[in-house]
Chains A and B, each alone.
Chain A
Amino acid sequence: MSDVRDLVILGSGPAGLTAAIYTARASLDPLVIEGEPSSTGDQPGGQLMLTTEVENFPGFPHGIMGPELMMNFRQQAERFGAVLKTEKASKVDLSQRPFGVWVGDPDAIEPTYLAKTLIVATGATSLMLDLPGEQRLLGHGVSTCATCDGFFFRDHDIAVVGGGDSALEEATFLTRFARSVTIIHRRDELRGSRIMQDRAFANPKISFLWNSQVVDVIGDQAVQSIEVENVQTKARSTLAVTGLFVAIGHRPNTDLFVGQLDMKENGYLVTETPSTRTNVDGVFACGDVQDDTYRQAITASGSGCAAAIDAERWLEAQE
């Protein structure tokens, strides 16, 4: 049986690592289960690992690259003694204290880690379209990471699906490489912020297909075209593109907590605002896993700080 730690943090995006910085400085010796690499946003460093220039994180007047910002967070947490493990939790037991956290085989009798308090900062994962050709052509024209893959579409015609800030940011970024970028959105207006909308509308390489959704991805070895349906008229058309970038939103990474932590209908964890307390005493949640309103790096970071202080005070009250 492992030693009982004061605190285990699940997740290592802006929320988890801010919680790690604060609790490490408070000598709580936090262990961060940072997640395993993936290309979906559910990975060490979180969603910013898939972004390019972050222009709105205060303190960086000239902007900073997303992965670089997260490397800075990481170094800052490690500087104060936070221990980061590149592992993914496979099970948690919140029914008794200390809480159990499993890594690897979820059927193992003993948990891998035991903790008096737990901070849940597992974030959110980008949604896919769920089309038959999509998985098969992932990496062959279908992409979830514009920054990783934009380079391969120099002078190509490509499409971005979605109407929020991520879609607009990806589309704008991709015009550095692509000949044309078509934004496909199922409504007739965008959800993204004013500044991102203005940039997209002003960009001569970007055009829009409104009230439309992708119904099929066509190609044997690589994407050759996509089938698009007008959601009002049901009319279908073929768009000849070699790249399809999906940015249609996120779902919270809360599968581990089903039946143990209270969630909203959309899967986001419920916290007792303005605190980060969940329905289980000693378990705190911060960042996108509990935020379906703001979903910004800076708000995630702010709530990570709140969770750290909540956990610290909770531990003090136990002594």
Chain B
Amino acid sequence: MSEHITNLTEATFDEVVNSSTETVVVDFWAEWCGPCKMIAPILDEIAAEQVNVVKVTKLNVDENPGIAQRFGVMSIPTLLVFKDGEVERRIVGAKGKSQLMAEIGL
């Protein structure tokens, strides 16, 4: 995992999402999800290319089921895009880089 990606937990989620000035992308994922593995390197690239524009984070749903439930995540990968602590976009399912960037709003 790239140095530009932050791992979130139930303990750190709110603070990171609410206190960031940049757009925050949260990747809801799990070890057993094939499509999640396929988008991981794409998110690494986006995180490295968009430093200070977006903060790319990951949340393991196995270890943090409460957060997934709170946001009604019922399918992974799901990306939630937060602006000022509010969900601005919801991206469901794995996609290619250009499409992901467009849907994140880059």
Which A residues fall within an 8 A CB radius of B?
36-40, 43-45, 48-52, 65-67, 70-71, 86-88, 138-141, 143, 145, 147-149, 151-153, 221-222, 243
In the complex, the chain B residue whose C-beta lies closest to that of A140 is: B74
Say whether A49 contacts B38, CB under 8 Å. yes
Say whether B35 contacts A145, CB under 8 Å. yes
Say whether B72 contacts A222, CB under 8 Å. yes
Say whether A151 contacts B35, CB under 8 Å. no
B36 an interface residue at 8 Å Cβ cutoff?
yes
Binary interface encoding of chain B residues 41-79 relative to chain A, with 1 for a CB under 8 A from any of its CBs, else 0 = 110000000000000000001100000100011111110
Say whether B34 contacts A45, CB under 8 Å. yes
Given known A-B contacts A139-B78, A152-B75, A147 and B96 have beta carbons under 8 A apart: no
11 A-B residue pairs with Cβ-Cβ distance under 8 Å, sorted by A, are A38-B35, A66-B34, A67-B37, A86-B96, A86-B97, A88-B96, A140-B72, A147-B34, A148-B33, A148-B36, A152-B73
B96 CB, min distance to chain A CBs, angstroms:
3
Specify which chain B residues have a CB less than 8 angstroms from the CB of A86 in the assembled complex.
41-42, 96-97
Specify which chain A residues have a CB less than 8 angstroms from the CB of B77 in the assembled complex.
39, 148
Q: How far is the CA of A70 from the CA of B32 in the complex (A)?
A: 14
Say whether A152 contacts B34, CB under 8 Å. no
B16 an interface residue at 8 Å Cβ cutoff?
no
Say whether A139 contacts B35, CB under 8 Å. no
Among A49, A71, A88, A141, the residue within 8 A (CB) of B35 is A49
Say whether B73 contacts A36, CB under 8 Å. no
B95 an interface residue at 8 Å Cβ cutoff?
yes
Q: How far is the CA of A48 from the CA of B34 in the complex (A)?
A: 9
Specify which chain B residues have a CB less than 8 angstroms from the CB of A140 in the assembled complex.
72, 74-75
Among B38, B61, B62, the residue within 8 A (CB) of A44 is B38
In the complex, the chain A residue whose C-beta lies closest to that of B35 is: A39
Given known A-B contacts A49-B34, A67-B37, A151-B30, A139 and B75 have beta carbons under 8 A apart: yes
Specify which chain A residues have a CB less than 8 angstroms from the CB of B72 in the assembled complex.
140, 221-222
Q: How far is the CA of A153 from the CA of B41 in the complex (A)?
A: 28
B34 CB, min distance to chain A CBs, angstroms:
4
B22 CB, min distance to chain A CBs, angstroms:
24
Specify which chain B residues have a CB less than 8 angstroms from the CB of A151 in the assembled complex.
30, 32, 61-62
Say whether B34 contacts A50, CB under 8 Å. yes
Specify which chain A residues have a CB less than 8 angstroms from the CB of B41 in the assembled complex.
86
Specify which chain B residues have a CB less than 8 angstroms from the CB of A148 in the assembled complex.
33-36, 75-77
